[in-house]
Structure 1
Amino acid sequence: MGTSGIGKTVQDVMHQGAQCVGEHDSLRRASQMMRDLSVGALPICGEDDRLKGIITDRDIVIKCCAEGKDLDQTTTSELAMGLVWVEAASSVEDALQKMEQHQIKRLPVIDNHRIVGMVSEADLAKELPDNKLAEFVHRVYAPS
């Protein structure tokens, strides 16, 4: 059973220290990082150390492998998804709203213009009472 996330910030529930994959790195490099870190998504950062997007294991499979593209020649920036993020000081409720609005399951967390972590639906779900959890899951997984 979830607890009340009221009053908690994203920083309270996120996974700290998210590692970025470079915007010019290959999808092979991104997939190796995902394997080594046991994650399904990585933030993409530019040479300026700023967030450029996010890439998921599903993106690599659907948009590269299934399309016959070369994992070594395709860069992460070519598949980067939209730039959706949340401030570390934001409330759990704000993060949930963003996930629902964009129907996404992971959000990069930004503090002082730098990435400081990632928050997932599972991280947030732990903070919700059961009735809110069911509503959230329905909205995030609803067909587009």
Structure 2
Amino acid sequence: MAATTMEMMAMGGKKRYTHMTFFWGVNSEILFEMWPGTSRGHYALALIVCFFMTLLLEWVSYLRITRPGWSHGAISATRTAMYTFRIGLAYLVMLAIMSFNGGVFIVILAAHSLGFALFGCKKVKEEDSSCCASKPDLPVAACC
């Protein structure tokens, strides 16, 4: 049988900051229980962490580590590790967005935009006409 909120508070339970609609404010939980909590400094740190985590996600999406001449096994292992890392980051960013905090949403959108501008919009030189030289190791994440 599930305990009601009043019963939880009577039993010494903690007040949680779970929202199911977008809200503005520092009283939130992002990724971890009771973090950032009610501290403005911790909230600012949480926004910074979300920003750089998302920027890292964009960088990994356009990264090229493998080189021609590597063995098939080395290429497969490298790309599998990169894919696993990227998917893990993507899930963490998704969970941060699911905090429904407006600040987190804006910071993550800004980081995706900056990441795409920095890493996804590189101009291909005219001299480099080979089809694979400018492609990233991982396919770009797509929702469709």
TM-score bucket of the superposed structures, by smaller chain: under 0.3
- TM-score w.r.t. the length of structure 2 is 0.27
Higher share of residues assigned strand = 1
Highest CA radius of gyration, 1 or 2? 2
- TM-score w.r.t. the length of structure 1 is 0.27
